[in-house]
Structure 1
Amino acid sequence: MPVEWQPVRQSRTHELVLESVEERVLAGELRVGDRLPPERELAPVLGVSRSALREALRVLETIGVLVAQAGRGPDAGARIVRNPDDALGRVLRLHFALGSYGLEDVLEARVILERSSFEAAARHASPEDLDVAEELLAGMSRPDVGVADFNDLDTRFHVQIARSSGNELTSTLTSAVRESVRPLILRALETVEDWPATAYALNEEHTELLRLLREGRGPEAADLAERHIRGFHGTLVDETAEEGTLDE
């Protein structure tokens, strides 16, 4: 059944367009994979300018629920998608940088999410899921691995465990929270006095985490994950508090 579009009110036009699209998604009239009508058709039906419509579509693309393809042909136009990971990570990074959340708040959120992820992964992760995590750990264990590459692989390791937990929302939130502090963790890693020793210690914990997951020992994996996060991330909280930058 084709979607019936209705004109929207003219005040704060692009936000009203967003509301119109949201209403149709919530009502099940728009689903993943559905395409919106071309701008030249949709704008007059909604009773808005094409510039206002484009502004609304850009917002939807930014928050990861729409992708727009320019040009002509079957792949052109705006299509409903679900891609929350990058969008949530971007939003959290910006709000963290602006001081909307303190580093201690992020730490506690990581602990809650990753305890849940590791405990669930011990029950639900497939051998293939854990093999992917093992490959990431192998990359982190290379003698010549640089700080930036280590930080990237470390982020992917934790996100991989979350994805193997069987809970997509936990995976998305874990990815977003970990990504939000990636720049800060990178800067902290770059200042450690003995980088090889730091990398070795972190990887020892990563190795033990994987062993516990393969053995299905969820509560022990959750406890170690918390110690692992508080060990390094916790030092960032202490250092930032000493510098007095949490509220700046």
Structure 2
Amino acid sequence: MPVEWQPVRQSRTHELVLQSIEQRVFAGELRAGDRLPPERELAPVLGVSRSALREALRVLETIGVLVAQPGRGPDAGARIVRNPDDALGRLLRLHFALGSYSLHDVLEARVVLERSSFEAAARHASKEDLDKAEALVVRMGEPDVEVVEFNDLDTRFHVHIARSSGNELTSTLTSAVRESVRPLILRALEEAEDWPAAAAALNAEHTELLRLVRAGKGAKAADLVEQHIRSLHGTLVDESAERL
């Protein structure tokens, strides 16, 4: 019987380095906080050039699992970390900008994630968590808060509630989805005809959301956060549809 040959997969060198590091993470040989050997030691062990190694390390840094500190000393070199929020947010923001996901897709994802996180926060959030959320709400309600700062505080409030829900993955996904539309939400806020009135209305909903979470009324908080998201984010979806 003749041998049936299959094409072999060609990989660039830095991809092979990535596979090697990934395998050690999956096997539990590398954990968050561990340092990789210096480039001058690791490159020859792996049998690759230092430029290929650096390319692989840059990829890992971009996806939020490694941080590289240049220079010499005990803090220099590459260290394995757990920092998925910024990396996933950056990735999702780029894909959203490229049209991989529609505004409607992002809206529905936000609704599902935040309903879940507010309902869970009503059961699991600590007093300290909710006090931090309240500080954000208080600042959003001050008369001197400008649009850019309000948008930042708004994002932090929703992400903080997600973190206090006790589910780290929900928190990361909520942060990434909210970050993906941050520029659009900022633009919508900047275009408000009466900014003080718009800010007051939005923050009245934040205040009520926090009250419901403190009272343990998760179902009502979930309903209100859906209404809250659809009132602004849904307007962006409607505007986008009108332009098509």
Structure 1 and Structure 2 fold alike (TM over 0.5): yes
SS at match of 1:120: helix
Aligned to 2:171: 171
Which residues of structure 2 form unaligned runs of 5+?
1-8
SS at match of 1:78: strand
8 Å Cα contact 1:106/1:177 also seen in 2: yes
CA distance in 2 between counterparts of 1:98 and 1:185 reads 18
CA distance in 1 between counterparts of 2:150 and 2:113 reads 22
List, as ranges, runs of 4+ consecutive aligned residues in structure 1 with deviation greater than 6 Å. none
Identity between Structure 1 and Structure 2 (%): 83
SS at match of 2:68: strand
8 Å Cα contact 1:107/1:230 also seen in 2: yes
8 Å Cα contact 1:64/1:81 also seen in 2: yes
How many residue pairs align between the two structures?
A: 236
Q: TM-score, normalised by structure 2?
A: 0.95
Q: CA deviation at 1:10?
A: 8.4
Task: String of CA shifts for 1:41-75, please: whole Å, max 9, x gaps.
Answer: 11111111100100000110111100111111211
Aligned to 1:21: 21
CA RMSD of aligned residues (A): 1.1
CA distance in 2 between counterparts of 1:222 and 1:129 reads 18
8 Å Cα contact 1:155/1:178 also seen in 2: yes
Aligned to 1:6: none
Aligned to 1:205: 205
Q: How does 1:36-47 map to 2 (within 5 A)?
A: 36-47=36-47
Task: String of CA shifts for 1:169-188, please: whole Å, max 9, x gaps.
Answer: 10011011101110110011
CA distance in 2 between counterparts of 1:16 and 1:184 reads 39
CA distance in 2 between counterparts of 1:200 and 1:88 reads 31
8 Å Cα contact 1:10/1:48 also seen in 2: no
Which residues of structure 1 form unaligned runs of 5+?
1-8
Q: CA deviation at 1:11?
A: 3.8
CA distance in 1 between counterparts of 2:237 and 2:139 reads 27
SS at match of 1:42: helix
SS at match of 2:73: coil
Task: String of CA shifts for 1:187-216, please: whole Å, max 9, x gaps.
Answer: 111111111111111111111101101100
CA distance in 2 between counterparts of 1:10 and 1:32 reads 30
CA distance in 1 between counterparts of 2:184 and 2:48 reads 43
CA distance in 2 between counterparts of 1:164 and 1:89 reads 19
8 Å Cα contact 1:32/1:80 also seen in 2: yes
